[in-house]
Amino acid sequence: MILRTVARVISTVFHPLLIPTWGFAMLLWSGIYSASLHSGMRWEIMRTVFLTTCVFPAALMRIIELFPESVAKLGTNMERVVPLLATALFYIIGANCIGNMPVHRVFRILLSSASFTVIILCLVSFSWKISVHAGGIGGMLGIVLALALHSVLNLWAPVSCIILLCGLIGTSRLLLEKHTVAQVFAGYLAGIVPQFIYYMIF
Listed residue (161, 185, 163) closest to 173, CA to CA = 185
What DSSP character marks residue 17?
T
Q: pLDDT per residue over 31-66, tens digit each?
A: 777 666 777 889 999 999 999 999 999 998 888 878
Residue 145 neighbours by CB distance under 10 Å: 20
The predicted model scores a pTM of 0.90
Element (H, E) at 144: helix 132-149
Tell me the torsion sign for CA atoms 123, 124, 129, 132: negative
Residue 6 neighbours by CB distance under 10 Å: 14
Write down the pLDDT at residue 74.
57
First to last CA, the chain: 46
What is the phi/psi pair of residue 67, to 5°?
A: -130, 60
Q: How far apart are CA 25 and CA 43, in angstroms?
A: 10
Residue pair 18/54 in contact (Cβ under 8 Å)? The answer is yes
Q: How far apart are CA 146 and CA 148, in angstroms?
A: 5
Write down the pLDDT at residue 158.
87
Write down the pLDDT at residue 20.
94
Tell me the torsion sign for CA atoms 13, 16, 18, 19: positive
Write down the pLDDT at residue 160.
93
Write down the pLDDT at residue 95.
93
Neighbouring residues of 92: CB distance < 8 A, sequence distance ≥ 6: 111, 112, 115
Positions in the chain whose pLDDT score sits under 50: none
